[in-house]
């Protein structure tokens, strides 16, 4: 994740949130009369999902950035966001995370300042969990296969990126893991031009193809073909 400072908006993750705010949220505030709760619900339901509970750095940074944007816009910070943000800040306050910064104490001071702002308390974060472990969204592999095969009916290959965020039926049916993976694939690319988006997305798909092929123990030729498929060129 690209980070260049210690303030809440000094990261690529924060830039993503600002981009969404300026290019989508502000319009919804004007045309649909979104209040602060509606804004928070949008980010939780459409962008973060259950990732608010798993403790990844990008999600934590985005949550903190949204708090800062609301503050600078002189808007209320709803209780739901205060709770989510307190958890995110406490996840960032653990020693291992702080020590990944050039100046851990400065990072700690900035986080504690934000925690005080939202009325939160420093405490040991809950054990990270993904989904509800229940970490498996399906009861067994047979059910997983059946349900995932159903989802292949949605759109075409090259429309999947669009459908994840805009097809309500698909968004509702997708496991949170896939939606979170999609968010990581697109991370840092929302504000880029189309050529950069296509190039970087292809490279990330190629890395996933490599990881999947190696994890499944495929032979070298099959992995090479998966990487070529992920490269995808007209």
103: in domain: yes
Residue 181 has pLDDT above 70, yes or no: yes
* Domain shared by 164 and 88, yes or no: no
Is residue 4 in some structural domain?
no
Specify whether 26 is located in the same domain as 104. Answer: yes
> Which residues are CB-neighbours of 91 under 8 A, at least 6 positions away?
55, 60, 97, 125, 128
Question: Same domain for 84 and 158?
Answer: no
Q: Are residues 104 and 160 in the same domain?
A: no
Residue 134 lies in a domain: no
**Of 101-105, 148-152, 202-206, which gets the smallest average pLDDT?**
148-152
Task: Please state the pTM of the whole predicted model.
Answer: 0.60
Q: Is the pLDDT of residue 195 over 70?
A: yes
Find the domain containing 161 and state its range: 141-231
Domain for residue 123, yes or no? no
Domain annotation covers residue 129: no
Same domain, 162 and 111: no
Distance CA 53, CA 117 (A): 21
Is the pLDDT at 137 greater than 90? The verdict is no
Domain assignment present for 136: no
| Cα dihedral across residues 205, 215, 148, 173: positive or negative | negative
The verdict on residue 127 lying in a domain is no
| 26-48 confidence digits (pLDDT tens) | 999 999 999 999 999 999 888 88
Mean pLDDT of the chain: 85
Looking at the structure, do residues 111 and 28 belong to the same domain, yes or no? yes
Q: Is 168 exposed, middle or buried (0-12, 13-18, 19+ CB in 10 A)?
A: exposed
Residue range 140-180, pLDDT digits in tens:
666 677 677 777 776 655 577 777 777 778 877 888 888 88
Domain count, the chain: 2
- pLDDT tens, residue by residue, 210-223: 989 999 998 999 99
Q: Residues 63, 52: contact at Cβ < 8 Å? A: yes
Same domain membership, residue 43 and residue 99:
yes
H/E stretch holding 63: helix 57-72
Cα separation, 61 vs 13, whole angstroms: 6
In the chain, the largest separation of any two C-alpha atoms, in whole Å, equals 57
6 found inside a domain: no
More confident residue, 75 or 194: 75
């Amino acid at each position: 994740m690209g980070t260049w400072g210690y303030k809440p908006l000094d990261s690529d993750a924060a830039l993503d949130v600002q981009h969404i705010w300026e290019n989508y949220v502000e319009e919804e505030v004007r045309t649909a009369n979104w209040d602060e709760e509606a804004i928070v619900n949008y980010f939780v339901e459409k962008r973060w999902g259950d990732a608010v509970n798993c403790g990844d750095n990008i999600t934590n940074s985005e949550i903190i950035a949204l708090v800062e944007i609301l503050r600078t816009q002189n808007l209320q910070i709803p209780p739901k966001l205060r709770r989510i943000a307190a958890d995110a800040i406490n996840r960032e306050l653990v020693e291992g995370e702080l020590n990944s910064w050039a100046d851990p104490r400065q990072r700690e001071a900035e986080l504690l300042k934000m925690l005080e702002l939202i009325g939160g308390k420093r405490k040991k974060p809950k054990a990270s969990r993904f989904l509800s472990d229940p970490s498996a969204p399906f009861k067994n592999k047979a059910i997983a296969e059946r349900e995932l095969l159903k989802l292949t009916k949605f759109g075409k290959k090259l429309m999947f990126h669009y459908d994840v965020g805009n097809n309500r039926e698909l968004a509702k049916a997708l496991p949170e893991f896939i939606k979170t993976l999609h968010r990581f694939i697109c991370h840092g690319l929302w504000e880029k031009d189309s050529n950069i988006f296509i190039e970087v997305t292809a490279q990330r798909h190629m890395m996933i193809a490599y990881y999947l092929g190696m994890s499944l123990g495929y032979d070298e030729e099959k992995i090479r073909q998966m990487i070529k498929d992920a490269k995808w060129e007209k």
